[in-house]
């Protein structure tokens, strides 16, 4: 999950040029809900690889500081919203980073989310990777954004020099969500040039608007020939029944056009994408949210580090509220 200064433009082409996605029916292998998150995920108290003003804590500390709690059907992860940090301290604001115990190749993951962390200096993300082999094993960013700026950004990252992508058109999905190609340097997924990304194109896909609308559903389908991501707001007029119900099977052929479609036009997915764990984390500042140009363009006050250190009350809304994650294989 590498930061970037993203430049967006639209490649205008007819929708028929979009690579076809081979959809299928999948059966549920995991239903992760409520306290079940503690069995399915590990808390990672690690040094942040993205240089954030953050201190990831272990499960015991997170529970004792109320940075995580769960009920039968609710799971919460959050950053500290009480402590002033000394600007000279080498320790950032306490927060959480969890990684799934299981890893996945071909699968569908459906995330039922009510609230995403918001606020200046925040950098929340839900993504998949093989940390031990990064970037060689690839990365899929499903939910990511910073400083309440813009919409959700879906991005792939791969090993340097690989995975050139040819985007044929922007996508407009069944709910009228228009995505735009995010260009950074070349049209490739090389992590050294910030990967290849798609801007979902709707305010309800991230940040305060997502939260005000009661959240929604994200879904990712990964196969050996494509990676697709869908988004449905809680207020959307069309949400597939198998998504909203969280049932035992899903049929992605009924889901309409995804907001992001990555075909294997010039990339051998099995070669550049390992079995992935799901990671959910809340960073502060760092290589993306903390970039001076990105932070300033968000209309946020002071500098990112100073703001995060000295304004704990500003992070009262910096939390994930997740109803469930369903995995289908």
Q: Which residues are catalytic?
A: 139, 144
Three-state DSSP class for 270?
helix
Q: Residue 28 is encoded by which pair of tokens?
A: 């549920």
H or E element, residue 288: helix 286-289
Q: Taking the CA atoms of 205, 109, 226 and 289 in sequence, report the sign of the dihedral they define.
A: positive
Q: How far apart are CA 127 and CA 104, in angstroms?
A: 12
Q: How far apart are CA 70 and CA 36, in angstroms?
A: 9
If we measure between CA atoms, which residue out of 128, 121, 191 comes closest to residue 325? 128
Q: How far apart are CA 111 and CA 217, in angstroms?
A: 6
Q: How far apart are CA 63 and CA 127, in angstroms?
A: 23
Q: How far apart are CA 329 and CA 327, in angstroms?
A: 7
């Amino acid at each position: 999950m590498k930061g970037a200064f993203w430049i967006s433009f639209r490649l205008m082409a007819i929708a028929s040029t979009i690579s076809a996605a081979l959809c299928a029916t999948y059966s549920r292998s995991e239903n992760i809900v409520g306290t079940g998150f503690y069995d399915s995920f590990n808390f990672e108290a690690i040094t942040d690889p993205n240089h954030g003003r953050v201190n990831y804590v272990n499960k015991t500390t997170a529970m004792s500081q109320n940075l995580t709690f769960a009920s039968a059907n609710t799971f919460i992860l959050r950053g500290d919203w009480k402590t002033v940090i000394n600007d000279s301290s080498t320790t950032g604001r306490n927060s959480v980073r969890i990684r799934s115990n299981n890893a996945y190749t071909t699968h569908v993951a459906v995330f039922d989310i009510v609230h995403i962390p918001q606020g200046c200096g925040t950098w929340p993300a839900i993504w998949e990777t093989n940390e031990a082999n990064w970037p060689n094993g690839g990365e899929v960013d499903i939910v990511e954004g910073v400083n309440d700026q813009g919409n959700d950004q879906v991005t792939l990252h791969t090993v340097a020099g690989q995975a050139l992508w040819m985007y044929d058109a922007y996508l407009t999905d069944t709910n009228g969500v228009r995505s735009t190609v995010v260009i950074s340097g070349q049209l490739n997924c090389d992590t050294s040039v910030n990967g290849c990304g798609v801007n979902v194109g709707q305010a309800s896909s991230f940040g305060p608007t997502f939260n005000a609308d009661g959240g929604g559903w994200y879904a990712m389908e990964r196969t050996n020939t494509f990676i697709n991501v869908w988004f449905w707001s809680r207020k959307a007029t069309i949400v597939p029944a198998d998504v909203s119900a969280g049932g035992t099977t899903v049929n992605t052929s009924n889901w309409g056009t995804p907001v992001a479609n990555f075909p294997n036009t010039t990339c051998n997915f099995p070669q550049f994408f390992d079995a992935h764990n799901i990671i959910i984390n809340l960073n502060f500042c760092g290589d993306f949210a903390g970039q001076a140009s990105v932070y300033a363009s968000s209309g946020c006050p002071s500098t990112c580090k100073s703001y995060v250190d000295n304004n704990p009350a500003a992070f009262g809304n910096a939390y994930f509220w997740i109803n469930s994650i369903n995995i289908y294989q």
